[in-house]
Amino acid sequence: MLKFYCMPWSRASTVFWLLEELSQPYEIEIIDIRAPGGVPESYRQIQPNKKVPAIDHDGTIVTERAAICIYLADMFPEAGLAPPIGDKRRAAYLTRLVYCDSVFDPAVAARAQGWQYVSNNFSFGLFDDMVTNLEKLLSRQPYAVGESFTAADTQLAGGINFTMNILKVLPALQVFKDYVARATDRPAYQRYAAKEAELAKHATPPPFAGRG
- Strands 27-30 and 2-6 come out as parallel
Q: Treating both helix axes as pointing N-terminal to C-terminal, what angle do 65-75 and 90-99 enclose, rounded to 10 degrees?
A: 150
Question: Phi/psi of residue 143, each to 5°?
Answer: -130, 175
Tell whether 57 is covered by a domain. yes
Q: What is the pTM of this model?
A: 0.95
Domain ranges, residue 170:
90-186
Q: What is the pLDDT of residues 95-118, one digit of tens each?
A: 999 999 999 999 999 999 999 999
Tell whether 6 is covered by a domain. yes
Q: Is the Cβ–Cβ distance between 100 and 162 less than 8 Å?
A: no
Neighbouring CB atoms inside 10 A of 2's CB total 17
Residues 29, 115 within the same domain: no
**For 146, which DSSP code?**
B
Residues 53, 97 within the same domain: no
Residues 7, 39 within the same domain: yes
Residue 203 banded pLDDT, cuts 50, 70, 90: confident
* CB contact burial 145-165 (16+ within 10 A = b; e otherwise): beeebbbbbbbbbbbbbbbbe
Tell whether 207 is covered by a domain. no
Q: What is the pLDDT of residues 186-202, one digit of tens each?
A: 999 999 999 999 999 98
Mean pLDDT taken over the chain: 95
CATH of the domain at 179: 1.20.1050.10
Give the chain's domain count: 2
Neighbouring CB atoms inside 10 A of 140's CB total 9
